[in-house]
Amino acid sequence: MILGQDPYHDGSYDGFAFSNTGKLRLSPSLQNIFKEVESDVYDGFQLSQDSELERWAKQGVLLINTAHTVREREPASHLHLWGMFTFHVLKALMDRKHPIVWMLWGSKAKKHLENKALPKNHLRLTAAHPSPFSASAGFFGCKHFSKANEFLMNHYVESIIW
């Protein structure tokens, strides 16, 4: 499970956090995510030009934002509208007995679970947002992708092909 902040405010949001559709180029955040995948998991990984993350979702990765709408060119403009909805989605996941890896990227995502105890068979991973403004402050080198796969395998759950 990857929790982000809000959709891209340029209109390219496709329903999956950090994924974007209809763009001729990868968003800077997604480029940084793929760079981390490359350095963390796959030696020789080729930076994908595919801006959609549906392939991760099909493997069971929930890619969700803390807000699901945004005014064009106004980041975080609808965060206040989605708080209760996001809270209930996250609460439902916390109540699951199935092992879950929580990747919380950025301060808005971390805030949603900062004082919440997760079940023992869940793993919380936090890092800076993958945006070019903050990726070097703790996203690069976080190794969330290999840590997630190691945790899943240790709990007899199939790992993710990132």
Domain map of the chain by residue range?
A: 2-154
- Asked if the model's pLDDT at residue 25 lies above 70, the reply is no
Q: Is the pTM of this model over 0.85?
A: yes
Kindly report, residue by residue over 118-162, the tens digit of the pLDDT.
Answer: 999 999 999 999 999 999 999 999 999 999 999 999 999 999 998
Backbone angles phi, psi at 153, to 5 degrees: -65, -40
Are 36 and 147 spatial neighbours (Cβ–Cβ below 8 Å)? Answer: no
CATH number of 2-154: 3.40.470.10
Q: For residue 130, which of 101, 90, 159, 103 has the smallest C-alpha distance?
A: 103
Are 107 and 10 spatial neighbours (Cβ–Cβ below 8 Å)? Answer: no
Q: Name the active-site residue from 6, 10, 40, 95.
A: 6
Q: First and final CA of the chain: distance in angstroms?
A: 13
Is 6 catalytic? The answer is yes
Tokens found for residue 24:
């001729």
Give residue 89's pLDDT. 93
Kindly report, residue by residue over 86-113, the tens digit of the pLDDT.
Answer: 989 999 999 998 999 999 999 888 888 8
Q: Pseudo-torsion of CA 42, 146, 85, 77, nearest 10°?
A: -60
Report how far apart, in Å, the C-alpha atoms of 93 and of each of 1, 15, 132, 137 are. 10, 19, 30, 28
